[in-house]
Amino acid sequence: MSKDIFLSVIIPSYNEMANLRKGVLDKVDHFLKKQQYSFEVIIVDDGSTDGSLDFVEKFVKDNEDFKLLKNQHLGKAGAVTAGMLAAKGENRLFTDMDQATPIEEINDLVPFLNNYDIIIGSRSSSREGAPWTRLVMARGMIILRSLIVGVRGIRDTQCGFKLFKAKPAEKLFGRIQDFHKGFKKISGSSVTAGFDVELLYIAQKMDYKIKEVPVSWLYVETRRVSPIKDSIEGVISLLTIKLNSLRGKYK
């Protein structure tokens, strides 16, 4: 692990041309260059087919602090895991390309690195701008997660803004990688609740200290969210985690 890089930022990217055209990478770059610490940004392309891979390739050529990691289409969990394990930073953040939680919020998480292994962003219950269907999904997930899996003391497991120290990241995502046997190639988009819940569930079983910190969040419209389909997949993911736990697979 290189001590030269304080922060690695991992951004999964699957058909993100709409967000890329908004200049999100420039905004991330401009903010990080103003900070007093060194950084790298790893964009993990998850088998994009909309031209966004070419966009990122050109951006990376012009920005030396940005790197591109090309994945098969494995879904967000596989992309984030690959990025976390390829990172060189002393601390590693994964965040979403839409920047619903803006990169500036990292400054609210960093102060807790002295006392915690993992610091996760937490959205307010109001979820500004989100349609009622998303609010119902979120509140339903909180109830089901507690009843089925039993992740302790964490209100918002699903915010896509999580910071890890390097050693916990390597051990935790290494376990995730091994457990899923490198993940499987998929078709279509895959944004399930299971990844974040499983990640934090295993982290708690490994006795890592986790801090939940309020962050700004603004709903960004996406066609990938299907309330009924995603809710069903979320419940199946929770039941799978519970079953794996009962079988002793997380020991």
Tell me, what CATH number does 86's domain have?
3.90.550.10
Q: What was the pLDDT predicted at 206? A: 94
DSSP classification of residue 105: G
127 part of a folded domain: yes
Q: What was the pLDDT predicted at 152? A: 81
**What does the pLDDT look like over 98-149, one tens digit per residue?**
999 999 999 999 999 999 999 999 986 544 555 555 555 666 666 777 677 7
Q: What was the pLDDT predicted at 217? A: 86
**What does the pLDDT look like over 152-194, one tens digit per residue?**
888 888 899 999 999 999 999 999 998 887 677 765 655 556 8
> Residue 241 above 70 pLDDT?
yes
How many Cβ atoms from other residues are within 10 Å of residue 14's Cβ? 25
Residue type, 117: D
Q: What was the pLDDT predicted at 190? A: 54
1 part of a folded domain: no
> Residue 13 above 90 pLDDT?
yes
> Residue 237 above 90 pLDDT?
no
Q: Which domain holds residue 130?
A: 7-246
How many domains, the chain? 1
C-alpha dihedral sign at 133, 137, 143, 144: positive
216 part of a folded domain: yes
215 part of a folded domain: yes
Sheet holding 210-214, edge to edge: 66-70, 39-45, 7-13, 91-95, 161-165, 118-122, 210-214
